[in-house]
Chain A
Amino acid sequence: MRQFIQGIAENSHYQATHLLQILRQIQSRYHYIPEAAIEQLSGLLNIPRTQIIGVVEFYSFFHLAPRGQYELLISDSITDHMLGKKDLFDYLAKKLDVAVGEVREDGVVSLDNTSCTGMCDQGPAGLVNGLALTRLDQSGIDKIAELINQQKPLDEWPEELFQVDDNIYKSGLLLNQQIEQGAALRSAFKRGIKETLKEIDYSGLRGRGGAGFKTAIKWQFCSEEQQTERYVVCNADEGEPGTFKDRVLLNAYADQVFEGMTVCAAIIGAKQGFLYLRGEYLHLYDKLQSILEQRRQNSLLGNNILDTGLDFDIEICLGAGAYICGEESALIESLEGKAGIPRNRPPYPVTQGYLGKPTVVNNVETFLAAAGIAVNGSDWFANIGTEKSKGTKILSISGDCARPGIYEYPFGTTIQTILNDCGADDVLGVQVGGPSGTFISNQEFDRKLAFEDLATGGSFIIFNSSRNILDMVHNFAHFFAHESCGFCTPCRVGTSLLQKQIDKIVEGHGSAGDVVALEELCQLVKNYSHCGLGQTAANPILTTLERYPDLYQSRLKEISFEPGFDLDGALETARRMANRNDAGAHLAQTDASGSRPVASLPPSMAVGE
């Protein structure tokens, strides 16, 4: 092991910024991060061992204790649940004889849940040693169990288990016209770099991650910074449950995305770019590396690109299972080899980003669009869309519809049009923008896809009337509690309390004051959290509470209060150990002696003299 770690540290030039990539290799080989490895790395990279342990503990895909030689993770997204995940998961656990969250005694296999793996249109999905598994069904699971029990190496597993489809059902401006390799760079240099920035400005392109900051302004700010060492980062950490369009773009349009990054580099004067690829998309890694290599050979990356004097190259960094790293400043921390804890903003990354240097961070789709604009000009883009939202938006559609997949629409398209196209009937509502977005009911389908109405990073999950909204809210509350980075108390504690309170109501222990308490808690988490995660974590509750107050109320009991856990069950261990079963050894769940009405505000208590 010493030699192995020495080798990877050397390949990383002993740079602590590569810690994440180093740990990925160790985890992949040993299925955990051994204590000895941490000690050795601490010396080689010249960082404290506690810092390494902090990073290992932060990311879901790293472990301090051994996992199975086959690390099986099953996606816990609401879309997987809608496709029957729970039964399959139980079946899998039984078939493999391993408990959820545990390693089988022989050490061969471990099984656990993981957050959405971005295969919502082809779930239920999972990961085995980081590689995506799709369309899991009973026969697929039988096969997987057999392969694992035979300890077959992954490269001998049948390909169909790993087959990932693009499922592009509707192409528009961007998806119809893939540019030729090098076309955007040639156009940009021909037109002039400054003019190209102007074209992007005139096109009205806004960031596609969801927040919608104007791309040209971001690039201009960065180019005007005093520090000359600058970076371009492509955010491909699409962790928002229900989003998978970046996976498709990087599978089928990667050249254009890299080209958009290179145009950006030419404009802002960057020499180094990064593609931060979420760990769940490991299956794309080799393909993307070969595209980068090809671009280097064609003088589209590297030194003196197309003889223009531009030096720029792109490195791919894999994440390790942390939703928060989709937040740009957390992503930069992660790129630097640290835990993905969001920074204070300002300063924004355009002034102090990667290693404190000016950095442009944009979404995959933004770079794709920028490359298109560089070739086709601003009018091509700006003629489509609405006044404030130019161009098109690529959606990842999943849930209850006939054709889940990728759809590209001009901004301004109504929700009803989208639902018609993907074959969704009997729709109860749509979660637009993922858990951190908005739930809209079937009374609002005339609303429009646009920054000024329904902004979205691309997630579009459809629920039909057979679904229970509270199941969705319950799933999302657990998601946020799991993904909170733990840095600030309102989010760390708040998301756990939200989860607990939702559990209580969903499980039928709620009573009169519980929905009010829930709403107060939502406001607290929303208003006092450090970053977007906490600020949006209460959205699923708030947006559904606003639309379906009766649904919540109907779950409440008509008593003043009931504990949220099984009170008598909590005595079971003590009862067994003391060998008792008398009346005093039991507790009623609610107070049988009846509860008197309670004054909630202080009555006037002034005592007369």
Chain B
Amino acid sequence: MANKIRVATTSLAGCFGCHMSFLDIDERMLQLVEVVEFDRSPITDIEHCTNCDIGLIEGGVCNSENVHVLREFRNNCKILVAVGACAINGGLPAMRNHIPLEECLNEAYLDGIGVENPQIPSDIELPLLLNQVHPIHEIVKIDYYLPGCPPSADVFWKFLTDLIEGREPSLPYELVHYD
């Protein structure tokens, strides 16, 4: 099955809610894996991306590791997709953008109620935080955007089946209105 379409997925500064919603395609997953093979993804536990057709990115970019992962995806995926509100706009994590990073870290690690042994974590294994959370299109080129918090299972299904069947993906109004 060498000619299956290769898909990678990851969550950066996200809550995995978009991934959960993706799983809500339910039994259609069986149809999907007929033609799709998952590369790096929480589904497979593969650690690094190799050449893929489609990369689905959930969440925005809040730290240096997010930047590296996003670049790895960009370098390995023909089509890179921003999935959900956080990837598109920064979303909930970007609410910290109005507060200086220094205050956030002080509150969390030095001055906050109940903090024991106050210190700013400095292990070199830990990624450093960016001073603001960014949507992923501000870091790399993005080809498609799937709106929603999270995008519904049907949005994933419509988008992927369009791509797989060689059509320009388009989401009908019913799938992208939220009231």
Contacts and interface: CB of A to CB of B under 8 A. Distances in A.
Given A574-B101, A602-B167, 18 more contacts: A561-B140, A561-B141, A570-B131, A571-B129, A573-B101, A573-B105, A574-B128, A577-B102, A577-B120, A580-B128, A584-B128, A585-B128, A591-B75, A598-B141, A600-B143, A603-B78, A603-B166, A606-B165
B138 A565 contact: yes
Contacts of B143: 598, 600
A211 interface: no
A513 B165 CA distance: 26
B114 interface: no
Interface of A: 513, 560-561, 563-565, 567, 570-575, 577-580, 582, 584-585, 587, 591, 593-596, 598-608
Nearest to B142: A561
B131 A572 contact: yes
Contact of A574 (B35, B105, B165, B167): B105
A601 B101 contact: no
Interface residues of B, number: 43
A565 B35 CA distance: 39
B139 interface: yes
A163 B138 CA distance: 48
A536 B121 CA distance: 50
A599 B140 CA distance: 14
Given A513-B141, A591-B71, A607-B35, A573 B168 contact: no
B25 interface: no
Contacts of A602: 79, 162-163, 166-169
Contact of A584 (B4, B74, B124): B124
A570 B130 contact: yes
A576 to B, nearest CB: 9
Contact of B124 (A560, A585, A596): A585
Contacts of B35: 607
24 contacts: A513-B141, A560-B141, A561-B74, A567-B130, A571-B64, A571-B129, A578-B120, A578-B122, A579-B122, A584-B64, A584-B127, A584-B128, A585-B128, A591-B140, A598-B74, A598-B78, A602-B168, A605-B53, A605-B163, A605-B164, A605-B165, A605-B166, A606-B165, A607-B35
Contacts of B138: 563-565
Interface in B43-96: 53, 64, 67, 71, 74-76, 78-80
Contacts of B78: 598-599, 603
Contacts of B76: 596
B31 interface: no
B23 interface: no
Ordered nearest first, which 6 A-B pairs have the shortest CB separation? A574-B128, A578-B122, A561-B141, A604-B166, A570-B130, A573-B101
A359 B67 CA distance: 57
A596 B75 contact: yes
Contact of A575 (B128, B163, B165): B128
Contacts of A585: 64, 124, 128
A567 B74 CA distance: 17
B50 to A, nearest CB: 12
A538 B156 CA distance: 34
Interface string B108-135: 0000000000001110101111111010
A520 to B, nearest CB: 13
Interface of B: 3-5, 35, 53, 64, 67, 71, 74-76, 78-80, 100-102, 105, 120-122, 124, 126-132, 134, 138-141, 143, 162-169
Contacts of B5: 605, 607
Contacts of B124: 580, 582, 584-585
A513 B131 CA distance: 26
A359 B35 CA distance: 67
A567 B130 CA distance: 8
B74 to A, nearest CB: 7
A563 B128 contact: no
Contacts of B4: 607
A584 B65 CA distance: 9
Contacts of A572: 131
A62 to B, nearest CB: 22
A573 B102 contact: yes
A10 B90 CA distance: 49
A590 to B, nearest CB: 9
A228 to B, nearest CB: 43
Most buried by B among A565, A570, A585, A604: A570
A280 B162 CA distance: 56
Nearest to A512: B141
A605 B6 CA distance: 10
A605 B105 CA distance: 46
A483 to B, nearest CB: 22
Contacts of B71: 591, 593
B141 A563 contact: no
Nearest to A590: B71
Contact of B74 (A580, A595, A600): A595
A587 B164 contact: no
Contacts of A567: 67, 130, 139
Nearest to A579: B122
A608 B3 contact: yes
A571 B134 CA distance: 13
Nearest to A569: B131
A561 B166 CA distance: 26
A408 B120 CA distance: 68
A606 B128 contact: no
B117 to A, nearest CB: 16
Contacts of B162: 602
Contact of B3 (A561, A594, A601, A607): A607
A563 B140 CA distance: 7
A573 B128 CA distance: 9
Contacts of B131: 570-574
Contact of A607 (B74, B100, B164): B164
Contacts of A607: 3-5, 35, 164
Contacts of A578: 120-122, 126, 128
A602 B168 CA distance: 6
A584 B127 CA distance: 8
A384 B121 CA distance: 78
Contacts of B64: 571, 584-585, 587
A595 B75 contact: yes
A603 B77 CA distance: 13
Contacts of A563: 134, 138-139
Contacts of B75: 591, 593-596
A585 B122 CA distance: 10
